[in-house]
Structure 1
Amino acid sequence: MTTLAVPAARFHPLRDSATMLRRNLRRMVRYPSMTLMLVAMPVVFLLLFVYVFGGTLGAGIGGSAAGRAEYANYVAPAIILMTVTATVQGTAISIAMDLTEGIIARFRTMHIARVSVLTGHVVGSVLQAVFSLAIVIGFAVLVGFRPTAGLGGWLAASGFLVVVTFALVWLAVALGQVSKTVETASNLPMPLMMLPFLGSGFVPTDSMPTVLRWFAEYQPFTPIIETLRGLLTDRPLGNEPWIALGWCAVIALGGYLWSRKLFAREDDR
């Protein structure tokens, strides 16, 4: 008597990742307040720094003839980057919510590729960031931001922002997994939102005290901001893009490996 071998079940990472992506996109559509909250903070900072501090800071940066318009061009790249850091804070919160509500534990019992659970969050967050960036850049133009980049510059800036977002999202995925509560997940990414203030985002680094200037010049967000500023305003880039991309590679790889280790550790429990 012969027996028929039952073929082993196969995982479909791409199909499963697409399913998880649809789930995250539907949640964004169902709860638009989350996206609006992530956009609101950069817009508030943009209005504050342009309309309240812009005249004084603009004169300090561009000389007595400069003012609010000059400062709007200077500060807009930092605000754009803050939009990305606000989005990754939402990523950490979403991951923590899934963990605390038990849905990820449920996913582990299902026949799906493990990588798809995190991939769905990453791709969904990148798309959410693109949408948020479009809104914030629109507000920046309304308050006086006048980028001089051509089509090539905008394409390069867009691709660069996607790379930065991808790197920071993977770090946020790890921060969300290591958090025990949703409140902790909302607080852990806060340093990412503060680093533009301690870099060249709002004032030139040469105006800072020596110790703070050293930190500002060597932390990752300064070359990222300078690269974005150069791409949007046709300023000389120098070595800044390569330094910025190097930082992005380190952050993305570290975040991915940390996330994978945390997720695998949960699987072993």
Structure 2
Amino acid sequence: MNTPVTRAGEARWALSNAGALVGRSLRHITRSPEQLMLMLFLPTMLLLMFRYLFGGAIATGGMSYVNYVIAGNIAVSVTFNATATSVAVAGDMLEGIVERFRSMPVSSPAVLVGHVAASLARNLVSIAVMVGVGLLAGFRPVAGPGQWLAALGLLVLFTLGVSWIAVLLGVLAKTVEGASGLSMPLVFVPYVSSAFVPPGTMPEALRVIAENQPVTPMVDAVRALFLDQPVGDSAWLAVAWWGGLTLVAVPLAGVLFRRRSAPGSR
């Protein structure tokens, strides 16, 4: 009879720790001009740049370019925001805060969960800003409520996957600057996808890469949902890719975090 009570108490303790550290990470966002810029300014500039500088030169099969590109812009915004997550995790690992937490009754996974929750909140704001700016720039979605919810679900899964990969890179980094460098490849992955141009317009080698990497099905599915077009197998591929990557990144980040934060590990 005591085991369920003990487990329930441990669960409440872990949730309480996670809530406190989520609040800490969210406060860091509001106090950091760099993170606010990534959250608000970057998605706006990305969308306007692609909409008005490149939109007239890119053929998208009769679809207006702003309707085509907004899902890709969201993907790039999420991966750009991942650099802030990697840097924040590395800062905690290298600047002594984890040692302080270890001397307190704090659940170790709560430190990483706090960073991921803050990343999700930051990206949800960025997505809302980008959709709002897109509407002003000519974006005309025709999705129904169910399609909006499905698109949001895919974007949340994508954000969680990217955020946990960013956490993993932050744990691996030896310096805060190195964390930023390690996470930069994430930023460029969406560029070699269907985010900005149809893969069929690319050279053969790039086309094969673009059609068989994890960002493309997510972008294709979200775009189709926004525009009430057939989704095909893109949604299931996106779930498989990003669900699988998340399932790998979460335990791996946890194991490496415990090793690096153990006494005498550095």
**The two structures share one fold, judged by TM-score above 0.5:** yes
Deviations 1:175-204 (A, max 9, x none): 111111121111222222212211111111
Task: State yes or no: 1:172 paired with 2:173.
Answer: no
Aligned to 1:61: 60
Structure-to-structure mapping, 1:163-202, within 5 angstroms: 163-202=157-196
1:71 aligns with 2:65: yes
For residue 259 of structure 2, the aligned residue among 260, 265, 269 is 265
Q: 1:203 aligns to what?
A: 197
Q: Distance in 1 between matches of 2:175 and 2:133?
A: 33
Cα contact 1:35–1:132 (8 A) shared by 2: no
Q: Is 1:217 aligned to 2:211, yes or no?
A: yes
- 1:109-166 residue CA offsets vs partner (Å, 9 max, x unmatched): 2111111111111112111111121112211221111111111111111121111111
Q: Give 2:244's aligned residue.
A: 250
Matched, 1:93 2:92: no
User: Using the alignment, how far apart are the partners of 2:76 and 2:92 within structure 1?
Assistant: 25
Q: 1:126 aligns with which of 120, 126, 133?
A: 120
- What secondary structure is seen at the aligned counterpart in 1 of 2:138? coil
Q: Give structure 2 stretches of 5+ with no counterpart.
A: 1-5
Which 5+ residue runs of structure 1 have no aligned equivalent? 1-6
Structure 2 counterpart of 1:50? 51
Report the Cα offset of residue 35 of structure 1.
Answer: 2.3
Residue type of the alignment partner of 2:234: E
Query: What is the rounded CA distance, in whole Å, between the counterparts of 2:213 and 2:40 in structure 1?
Result: 25
Structure whose CA Rg is larger: 1
Aligned equivalents of 2:192, 2:52: Cα separation in 1: 21
| Residue type at the aligned position of 1:19 | A
Identical pairs, percent: 39
Partners in 2 of 1:200 and 1:84 — Cα distance?
Answer: 16
- Paired residue type of 1:184: G
- Please state how far the C-alpha of 1:44 moved relative to its aligned partner: 2.2
Q: 1:38, CA displacement in angstroms? A: 4.0
CA change 1:267–1:61 in 2 (3 A) is closer
Separation in 2, partners of 1:215, 1:160 = 21
One-letter amino acid matched to 1:102: G
Equivalenced residues, count:
254
1:33 positional shift: 3.7
> Residue in 1 aligned with 2:3?
none
Q: CA deviation at 1:32?
A: 4.3
CA contact (8 A) 2:44 2:129 kept: no
Contact 2:85–2:163 (Cα < 8 Å) also in 1: yes
Q: Which residue of 1 aligns with 2:139?
A: 145
Shift of 1:26: 1.4
User: How far apart in 1 are the matches of 2:22 and 2:42?
Assistant: 26
How much has 1:267 moved relative to structure 2?
A: 3.8
1:35 aligns with 2:36: yes
Give the whole-Å Cα distance in 2 for the aligned partners of 1:38 and 1:100.
Answer: 25
**Equivalent-residue separation in structure 2 for 1:54 and 1:198 (angstroms):** 17
Asked if the contact 1:39–1:86 (Cα under 8 Å) also holds between the matched residues in 2, the reply is no
User: Given that residues 28 and 34 in structure 1 are in contact (C-alpha distance below 8 angstroms), is that contact kept between their aligned partners in structure 2?
Assistant: yes
For normalisation by structure 1, the TM-score amounts to 0.89
